Amino acid sequence: MKYDIILAGVGGQGVLSLASVIATAAAKAGFKVRQSEVHGMAQRGGAVMAHMRLADGEIFSDLIGQGTADMVISMEPLESLRYLPWLSPEGILVTSITPVKNISNYPEESQIMEALSELPSVRLVDDKALAKEAGSSRAGNMVIVGAASANLPLGMKHLKAAVDSLFSRKGEAVVQANYKALDLGSHIS
C-alpha cells in the first residue's frame, strides 16, 4: 500500500503543522513516511508546499510524480489549482474555500470556484467558519485534516494522538480545540 499527498497553502496558514499531524499519525499507525517541503517566502505569505508519501513498504523517493498523487490538500483555493497537475485522475482535492489575496492580480473568486467545482472529486471546506466553531480561529488546518480524514489510510484515533503529541505543550484548551476542529471537518463529505 502507498498513499501520496501534496500539501499546499501560503505562509502562516499552518500547512507544515497540518503535514506534521498527518506524518505523525501515519508513523503511529505503522506506516513509513517520507516528506519533502518547499517553504518559498512563507513568512511573507508566499507559497508553501510539501510532498508526503505514506507506505507499508520501502519508499524510494521523497517526491511525487505529476498525475500520481492520491490527494491534494490545500489551505488556499488558488494554491489548490496550482498543484492539480500532480493529482491522479482518481485522486481527490480537499481545499479551503477562503482565499488569501496576496497578489495584485488574484483571479476572481467565482472563476476559481467554478474551476474547482468542475473537478471529478473535490471537497470544498469553509475551514474558517468551522475553526471558529471549534473555538480557535487558528485551527483551520485541523478542519482541513478532518475533511480529508475519510480518504486518508489513517484512523481518527491516530490523528488525535498526533494532535495530542504536537499541541499538548500549548495546553489542554488548544488540544481540545484542535480535536473539535478535526471532528467538525470529518463531518464534511
Give me the residues paired with residue 122 across strands. Answer: 93
Q: Which three cell numbers stand for residue 127?
A: 475551514
pLDDT digits (tens, 9 = 90+) for 134-160: 999 999 999 999 999 999 999 999 999
pLDDT of residue 165: 94
pLDDT of residue 46: 80
Nearest CA to 66 out of 90, 85, 89, 93 is that of: 85
pLDDT of residue 4: 98
Check whether 176 has a pLDDT greater than 90: yes
Check whether 174 has a pLDDT greater than 60: yes
What's the rounded Cα separation, in Å, for the pair 78 and 103? 11
pLDDT of residue 107: 94
pLDDT digits (tens, 9 = 90+) for 49-77: 899 999 999 999 999 999 999 999 999 99
pLDDT of residue 15: 87
Cβ partners under 8 Å of residue 187, min gap 6: 146
Q: Which three cell numbers stand for residue 8?
A: 499546499
pLDDT of residue 43: 62
Check whether 40 has a pLDDT greater than 80: no
pLDDT of residue 189: 67
What's the rounded Cα separation, in Å, for the pair 35 and 13? 18
Check: CB of residue 79 under 8 Å from CB of residue 10: yes
pLDDT of residue 44: 65
Q: Between the CA of residue 106 and those of 25, 38, 42, 82, 111, what are the distances in Å?
A: 35, 22, 18, 13, 11
Whether the predicted model's global pTM rises above the 0.85 cut:
yes
pLDDT digits (tens, 9 = 90+) for 73-116: 999 999 999 999 999 999 999 999 999 998 899 999 999 999 99
Using the Cα atoms of residue 93, residue 97, residue 98 and residue 104 in order, give the sign of their dihedral.
positive
Check whether 3 has a pLDDT greater than 90: yes
Check: CB of residue 5 under 8 Å from CB of residue 57: no
Check whether 42 has a pLDDT greater than 60: no
